[in-house]
């Protein structure tokens, strides 16, 4: 196995997008963006056999004093159907973590362990994911704190538009058509629309009580990916006024519905349904074979905070897809336990002292 550090953006993206498990969060642009905004410095490695690249890993590195945290967001992109090559690259990554004096190395590839909702008729295990988990467990990896969504809904775009529309639930199909009848129009967003995209997103976060970052974060992210041709935004309008949007990220064979927002007014015009249908048609025209709704409940019960959004997405009749989730390799079990168990408590205590807030909570370590 030949292992090389890649420093050329074009070479990295062009090679990565041809791999079966390529993800936009492994792209060159994502690594640079996270370095600017959060301090995770990317190290990008390609793994070749007989002159052919078979795997790639963009490893985010963050220093904690003399030690490091290592995170491969939605990766690595490996030939997981080949147990021998997967094991060889995983062994290299474990050695890398030891050489770098890492507290942990976290991976989170889009490797399916099952499709369907657990316990329902469509629940079906996926053998590749099960074999990867067995390999990791045997080598001392353990299930770690989740950073990205573990579950999602995916939709097959290789079908015709008529087939995709006909497969939707009757209620969803009716609402898609109702939006057009109610005067909703859809247009592509430009860079000049980024403040509008953020205003709608911030309004949605306030209404639905989810955390939003400052404009500097999203402005940087959306502009970077739109300029690089890796993001496409759509705005729904009524009488010329923006009332909702979706922001799509796309790479390899997949288009992801990463961000969505709507104004407090005119929601009865069903703009979100029209936007999803237009997004699917756009992704299909661009040649993407998969549409990923980016997120489903961790636990499939109505008590899960994502249940309402899940029901909305499920109406488009995609496939519920469950991934293997985040796994951690810790060269030192003692350091790992200290960081994952003790450090969050210290951090929460310091926040309470600093802000006088007894309800302070920890955040994801890999963000």
- Predicted confidence at residue 351, as pLDDT, reads 60
Q: Distance between CA 281 and CA 212 in Å, rounded?
A: 28
Domain(s) of CATH 3.40.630.30: residues in the chain:
2-151+323-355, 158-288
Give average pLDDT by consecutive 10-residue segment, the chain, 367 residues: 97 97 98 97 97 98 94 98 97 98 97 95 94 97 95 98 97 94 96 98 92 95 98 97 98 97 93 97 98 95 92 97 97 90 66 46 31
Instruction: Classify domain 2-151+323-355 at the CATH topology level.
Output: Aminopeptidase (3.40.630)
Q: What angle do CA 32, 33, 36 make, to 5 degrees?
A: 90
**Coil, strand or helix at 131:** helix
Distance between CA atoms of residues 26 and 10, nearest Å: 13
Instruction: Name the helix (H) or strand (E) containing 138.
Output: helix 127-138
| Burial (0-12, 13-18, 19+ Cβ within 10 Å), 272 | buried
Residue-level pLDDT at 191? 98
How confident is the model at residue 210, as a pLDDT? 86
β-pairing, 290-292 with 151-156?
antiparallel
Give buried/exposed letters for 143-160 (b at 16+ CB in 10 A, else e).
ebeebbbbbbbbbebeee
Pair 236, 197: CB distance under 8 Å: no
Q: What is the CATH number assigned to the segment(s) 158-288?
A: 3.40.630.30
Give pLDDT, residue 275.
Answer: 98
């Amino acid at each position: 196995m030949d292992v090389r550090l890649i420093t050329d953006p074009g070479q990295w993206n062009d090679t990565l997008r041809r791999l079966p498990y390529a993800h936009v969060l492994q792209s060159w642009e994502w690594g640079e963006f996270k370095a600017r905004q959060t301090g995770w410095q990317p190290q990008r490695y390609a793994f070749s056999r007989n002159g052919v690249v078979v795997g790639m890993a963009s490893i985010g590195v963050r220093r904690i004093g003399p030690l490091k945290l290592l995170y491969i967001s939605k990766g690595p992109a490996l030939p997981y159907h080949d147990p021998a090559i997967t094991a060889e690259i995983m062994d290299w990554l474990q050695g890398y973590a030891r050489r770098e004096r890492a507290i942990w190395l976290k991976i989170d590839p889009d490797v399916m362990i099952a499709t369907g909702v657990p316990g329902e008729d469509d629940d079906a295990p996926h053998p590749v994911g099960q074999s990867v988990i067995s390999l990791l467990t045997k080598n001392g990896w353990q299930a770690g704190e989740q950073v990205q969504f573990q579950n999602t809904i995916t939709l097959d775009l290789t079908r015709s538009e008529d087939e995709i529309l006909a497969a939707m639930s009757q209620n969803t199909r009716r609402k898609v058509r109702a939006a057009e009848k109610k005067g909703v129009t859809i247009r592509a967003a430009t860079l000049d629309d980024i403040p509008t995209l953020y205003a709608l997103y911030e309004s949605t976060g306030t209404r639905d009580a989810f955390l939003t970052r400052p404009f500097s974060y999203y402005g940087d992210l959306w502009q970077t990916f739109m300029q690089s041709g890796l993001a496409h935004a759509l705005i729904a309008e009524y009488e010329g006024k923006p009332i909702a949007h979706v922001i799509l990220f796309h790479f390899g064979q997949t288009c992801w519905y990463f961000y969505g927002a709507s104004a407090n007014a005119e929601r009865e015009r069903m703009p979100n349904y029209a936007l999803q249908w237009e997004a699917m048609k756009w992704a299909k025209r661009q040649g993407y074979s998969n549409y990923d709704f980016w997120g489903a409940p961790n636990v499939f019960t109505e008590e899960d905070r994502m249940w309402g959004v899940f029901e909305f997405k499920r109406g488009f009749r995609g496939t519920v897809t469950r991934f293997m989730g985040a796994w951690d390799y810790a060269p030192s079990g003692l350091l790992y336990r200290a960081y994952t168990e003790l450090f969050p408590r210290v951090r929460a205590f310091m926040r309470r002292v600093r802000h006088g807030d007894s309800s302070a909570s920890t955040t994801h370590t890999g963000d």
